Amino acid sequence: MSTANSTPNTSSNAFVYFFGALGGLLFGYDTGVISGAILFIESDLGLTPFLNGLVVSGILLGAMGGAALAGPLSDSLGRRRLILIAAVIFSVGAVGAALAPNVAVLVMFRIVLGFAVGAAALIVPLYLSEIAPTRIRGAVAALNQLMITVGILSAYVVNAALAPYEAWRWMVGLALIPALVLLVGMYFMPETPRWLVSKNRDDDARDVLHQTRTDEEAEREVREIKEIESREEGGLRELTASWVRPALLVAVGLAVFQQIIGINTIIYYAPTTLTEVGYGNQAAILANLVIGVLNVLMTLVAIRFIDRIGRKPLLTIGLFGMIASLSTLGISSLVLPAPGSPTDPVAIITLACLAVFITSFAATWGPVVWVMLPEVLPLKIRGAAMGVAIFLHWAANFVVSQTFPVFLDSLGPGVVFLGYAFVGAAALVFVRTFVTETKGRSLEEIEADLRGRSVAG
């Protein structure tokens, strides 16, 4: 081993964080690209309304399976190896969807892509959280959400560029490029020190820690990980332990509320919503591009402040903005005349409220939830517990995506958006009641506190 250092080796840190987060870009691209591509798939493959919904939501069905499998696999195979497997699945899914000769094959490969998306949703924040130093863990883990928003924005840009040619196959197939970059880049990245210690590979863990910590910090962190790891039994049975339940409740609650407050009614259906209030197809896609830009910019704001303001205050602030925008959107839809053009009051208010909602979400709930999920869960069952939370996350996503068009048609936008505002109010109660702050605390300190509260209770 090399001689001791007083400062960490930072030359490769940016590459570790970049490739660690790149799976988030594929997550965002593959979920966002369908909003524009579906307009042309529908006419090219002759989709019925049911098949239209199946093409959109097929990726969500796969994501549930991917999340369920990725949790235990990440604990047994390792975080890095699972990202490599996900990159291969992303590549196969992108090529298969682009070459699909009919709707059945397209849906099948959308489900295949979903397995990779579900795995990425679990493993990317887990990898980043476990490899980052405590002082910048929030910002590093939030890179996952930044990459998701960049992926969504990239999808919107590609949609806008290829829309005049109705080239939906190129839209979905271009995901192959970042998938190959992820596969090659992640091959050279390290495993997380916490997983290495859990497999009794302490020297390998020290080598990884020395890239981002001083020698003293690295040794202290290995000791803390081993101390916490020695207390845990591991295995799925531990998921039901009384001391784990509060953490699992918070993880599941955050993962589910992030979806049922209605974010994907915007990600998947913003162009549809805008055409309903008087925008043409091209105008709706361009307006959606603006929403995508806001999504990225406000995620950058979150990265800057998440380790300063803290997780819980950001969650609370974001809910106030989302509840206000949803309430305004719902009330205006109920009391103002139906729009006929983009210059009518309801059309203007709709676009403004969508922008406020995405701004509030992207600066808070988007990144904070992905940061907190691995933070609040114990080491030995972190992968399995995140599998439970993210499986339910995708199940909630699927329910919202499938029911939104039905509710919109049967109840109208006013009632639907007021319903999402009510969900936001319930989320606010949940955050204030159950969520504790994790800013500035090591993962081992958070876990020790969880055990301590269980004993005290």
Cα three-residue angle 422-291-430, rounded to 5 degrees: 25
Give pLDDT tens digits for 377-424: 887 778 788 888 988 988 888 888 777 777 877 888 789 889 999 999
- Position with higher pLDDT, 272 vs 145: 145
pLDDT of residue 208: 84
pLDDT band at 267 (very low <50, low <70, confident <90, very high): low
Give pLDDT tens digits for 8-66: 444 457 778 888 888 888 888 988 888 778 878 888 888 877 787 788 888 888 988 89
Burial of 336 (0-12, 13-18, 19+ CB in 10 A): middle
438 falls within a domain: yes
203 falls within a domain: no
The span from the CA of 427 to the CA of 320, in Å, is 10
* Exposed e or buried b per residue across 338-376, where buried means at least 16 C-beta atoms within 10 angstroms of its C-beta: ebeebebebbebbbebbbbbbbbbbbbbbbbbbbbbbbb
pLDDT of residue 107: 94
**Residue 373 neighbours by CB under 8 Å, 6+ apart:** 125, 126, 251, 254, 255, 386, 389, 390
**Residue 78 neighbours by CB under 8 Å, 6+ apart:** 191, 192, 195, 199
**Which domain CATH number covers 425?**
1.20.1250.20
83 falls within a domain: yes
- Could you tell me the pTM of the whole model? 0.78
221 falls within a domain: no
143 falls within a domain: yes
Mean pLDDT score of the chain, rounded to an integer?
A: 83
Given a cut of 50, is residue 4 above it in pLDDT? no
Structure tokens given for 441: 């605390």
Give pLDDT tens digits for 82-141: 999 999 999 999 999 999 999 999 999 999 999 999 898 888 888 888 887 877 878 887
Question: Which of 83-97, 194-208, 234-248 shows the highest mean pLDDT?
Answer: 83-97
Q: What is each CA distance from 10 to 16, 136, 414, in whole angstroms? A: 10, 14, 52
| Residue linked to tokens 């992968």 | 383
Provide the residue type at 31 as one letter.
Answer: T
The span from the CA of 129 to the CA of 141, in Å, is 5
225 falls within a domain: no
Mean pLDDT of 283-302: 84
pLDDT of residue 2: 40
pLDDT of residue 455: 45
Beta strands of 315-416 (E only): which ranges? none
The span from the CA of 90 to the CA of 27, in Å, is 9
Give pLDDT tens digits for 320-361: 999 999 999 889 888 877 666 666 777 788 888 888 999 999
Given a cut of 90, is residue 75 above it in pLDDT? no
Nearest alpha-carbon partner for 109 in 182, 60, 58: 58
166 and 36 Cβ atoms separated by less than 8 Å: no
232 and 369 Cβ atoms separated by less than 8 Å: no
pLDDT cut 90: percent of the chain above it: 25
Neighbours of 59 (CB within 10 A): 30
pLDDT band at 5 (very low <50, low <70, confident <90, very high): very low
Range of the domain at 121: 13-189+232-456
Number of domains observed in the structure of the chain = 1
Three-class secondary structure of residue 378 per DSSP:
coil
340 falls within a domain: yes
22 falls within a domain: yes
pLDDT band at 257 (very low <50, low <70, confident <90, very high): very high
- Position with higher pLDDT, 252 vs 31: 252
Give me Rg for the CA atoms of the chain.
22
